Structure 1
Amino acid sequence: MREVNLKVGLTPKHPCSYLPGRLEQLLVLLDRELLCPQGYEQLLTAGFRRSGSDIYRPRCQACQACESLRIAVADFVPGRSQKRILRKNRDLRMVLSEHDKPEYFELYRHYINQRHQDGSMYPASRQQYEGFLLCHWLPPVFMEFRAGNRLIAVAVTDLLSDSLSAMYTFYDPDEEHRSLGTFAILSQIQLTKNLNKHWLYLGYQVDGCRKMNYKQHFRPHQRLIHGQWQTMKDGA
C-alpha cells in the first residue's frame, strides 16, 4: 500500500518515546473506511500500527530508527535460551479470552507503576489503559497466563485474517525471573501456527533502545527497511 493513496495527518513534533534527546512525528490515518480488520492488516504490511482505535506510523525526517518487525512463523525455530524459557514456564496455563476483565487492569497498573515509572504511561489509569489497548473496530483477544488460578501475565493480541499482531504484554513484576515477555511472544508464535496464519507482527524494532532489543532475538524475522521487507537471519 502506497502512502500517497492514504489520507493521513502529521502530528506536531514531540519527545521521542524510544530515543532520549530526539523528537518524533507520527503519521495518523484519517481514512475512516480503513478502520477495520481488513484495512488494518494491509496497513501492517506498510509499517503502520494501532494505538487504541487509531492507526499511526512514525515519520521522522532525520531518523529511520523505527523498523516494523514480523515473524514468518513457519520458519521460526526457538534458540537455546528460548527453549529454556519454554521449559521454565511449563507449569503455566494459557487461556484465551475475548472480554476485558477487571483483573487485567489491576495487573496492568501494578506492572506499569513498578516497571515504567520513567515513561509516559506512568502512573497507570483506567482511561489510559482503555485508550491504549482497546479498539472499537477490532476487539483484541487476551492471552491469559495463570499459575494455578493466579493471573501472572496478559498478552493483548489482535487476530487478523492472515496474521496476529502482538499489541502489548504486561505481567506481575515479582515473576520477572520467568522472562514472561519472551514467553508471551513464543506463545503468540505457537498460536499463530495453530490458527494456520502466516505472520506475527511485533511492532517496531529500535536498535538504539534497550527496552526494544528483545524483539531482534526472534530469528529469522523480517524488517521493513526503506519500504521493503528484508529477512534477518542468525548473525544478520
Structure 2
Amino acid sequence: MASIQDLKLYQTHPHPCSYLDEQQATTVFIDPEASVDKTLYTQLSRNGFRRSGEHLYRPRCEHCQQCILTRVAVNAFTPNRSQRRIERRNQDLRVEIGDSPDFELDYPLYERYIRERHVDGDMYPPSRDQFQSFLSAEWGVTRFARLYDEDQLLAVAVYDELDDALSAVYTYFEPTADNRSLGTFAILWQIRRAQQLGLGYVYLGYWIRNCRKMNYKIKFRPLQLLIEQRWLTLK
C-alpha cells in the first residue's frame, strides 16, 4: 500500500471554476493507479483531499485560496433551533444502510433530483454511467443511507466511513419534499451516525465564502476549517 509521501500527483490545466464566475481553477489528483485503502484515504482527507468516484483530488489554484475543506467536530456539536425542528420533523423516517448502489431503486430518484434541482450544474444531464462513476468507489468504505417515509424512498445520503470520521459524498432527495429540509437532515443524521460509531468528525467538503450554495455548511457548529494545513475551529 502506498504511503502519502510516495504518492504521485497530477495537475490539470486551468479550467473554468464551477463555483466562482470568471475564475480559473486548477486541480491536483492522486495517481489513479495508486493502491488506496481506508487508512490512506483517511490521511488524505485530513490533508485536504476529497473523493469523486475513485479520484482523490484537491484544488490548487494559483491566484485563489477560497476552497476550504470543512468538517464537523461531532462530539462538540449542538444543533441550533432550526436544526432541532428539522430533526423532529423527520423523526418518522426509516433509515436503511447499504454498501452498494441499487440502480433500480436509487437512480430514478437521483435522475429526478438532478433534473429538477441542478440543471445548471456539472452533473446535468444525469446518466447511469455518471451516477456510477461519481458516487461509487471500490475501497469498501462507501455506504448508502436510504431514508424512507413508509415505503417511499425520499432521500439517499452517500458517505464514506474513514478511520476517524464519516465523509459526506453526496445527498439527493425527493425534490417535492421541501417541507422536510432533507439536505440538512441528511447531514444531521450523519453527525448522529458518526457519534454512534465513536468517530470524531463528519467531513462536509469544501466551503467558499462567496458561494451562496455552500453557505449551509457554516450552520453546523463547531465547524473546523483547514487553513494553511492547520485545522481551525469556527465556533
Pairwise mapping of residues 161-172 of structure 1 onto structure 2 (< 5 A)? Answer: 161-172=163-174
Deviation at 1:17, TM superposition (A): 1.2
Conserved? CA contact 2:145–2:157, under 8 Å: yes
Deviation at 1:139, TM superposition (A): 4.7
Q: Following the alignment from structure 1 to structure 2, what is the Cα–Cα distance between the partners of residues 218 and 7?
A: 34
Residue type at the aligned position of 1:133:
L
Q: Hey, what does 2:160 align to over in structure 1?
A: 158
Which of 117, 127, 147 lines up with 2:119 in the alignment?
117
Deviation at 1:32, TM superposition (A): 4.1
**Against the structure 1 CA distance between its residues 34 and 16, is the aligned structure 2 distance closer, same or farther, given a 3 Å change threshold?**
same
TM value normalised by structure 1 = 0.94
Residue type at the aligned position of 2:206:
Y
Which of 196, 199, 202 lines up with 2:201 in the alignment?
199
Deviation at 1:211, TM superposition (A): 1.0
Q: Which runs of 5+ in 2 are unaligned?
A: none
Deviation at 1:94, TM superposition (A): 1.2
Deviation at 1:24, TM superposition (A): 0.6
Say how many residue pairs are matched. 232
Aligned identity (percent) is 45
The secondary structure found in structure 2 opposite 1:173 is coil
Q: Following the alignment from structure 1 to structure 2, what is the Cα–Cα distance between the partners of residues 134 and 113?
A: 20
Q: Hey, what does 2:46 align to over in structure 1?
A: 45
2:8 equivalent to 1:25: no
**Against the structure 1 CA distance between its residues 18 and 157, is the aligned structure 2 distance closer, same or farther, given a 3 Å change threshold?**
same
TM value normalised by structure 2 = 0.95
Conserved? CA contact 2:7–2:34, under 8 Å: no
The secondary structure found in structure 1 opposite 2:113 is helix
Deviation at 1:99, TM superposition (A): 2.5
CA deviation profile, 1:3-53 (whole Å, cap 9, x unmatched): 875410000111111112111110000174452211110000000001000
Q: After TM superposition, where is structure 1 displaced by more than 6 Å over at least 4 residues in a row?
A: none
Q: Which runs of 5+ in 1 are unaligned?
A: none
The secondary structure found in structure 1 opposite 2:57 is strand
CA deviation profile, 1:52-80 (whole Å, cap 9, x unmatched): 00100000011011100011110000000
